[in-house]
Amino acid sequence: MGKDSVISGESKNPLTFVVQEHWATHHHFDFRLEMDGVLKSWAVPKGPPETKGVKRLAMAVPDHDLAYGAFEGEIPKGEYGAGKVSIWDNGTYDLKLRKPDEIAFELHGKRLQGDYALVLMKKERDRQMWLLFKRS
């Protein structure tokens, strides 16, 4: 199935998501969706929205291994992402739409529940700026 496809139906294994609060150089939240065998990741400076209509900047960051979704602890100084990491929310999600400039999904977390979307707003060189928002 192509990346531009509308997704429907249930998968045999539910897809997972995790939001990790990260006290690094700048405090932020890492929003991660299981896709393509990795955790696709975005840094969200103000945290993921819990209210419909609130839009938050989400900067695409490198993919992480699936096992990283369970990580909590301290990343040592001198390493990428140095600082304290804790799990803020996690759960499963249903992928509704995936296109190069839009991802729509329904989250089933402890804190985040409902329909969300990521929309690509700006792409320059190796940086992608997305908007993360709750649709319902």
- The reported pLDDT for the residue numbered 10 is 44
Assign residue 125 a region (left: φ > 0; alpha: ψ between -120 and 50; beta: otherwise): left
Q: Is residue 60 part of a domain?
A: yes
Closest to 34 measured CA to CA, from 14, 57, 58: 14
The answer to whether position 8 is within a domain reads no
Number of domains in the chain: 1
For residue 2, tell me if it sits in a domain: no
Q: What is the pLDDT of residues 41-53, one digit of tens each?
A: 999 999 999 999 8
Give the chain's radius of gyration (CA, Å): 14
- Confidence tier at 81 by pLDDT (50, 70, 90): confident
Residue 9 lies in a domain: no
* Residue 99 belongs to a domain: yes
**Residue 38's domain spans which residues?**
15-134
Query: Can you give the pLDDT at residue 98?
Result: 97
pTM, rounded to two decimals: 0.88
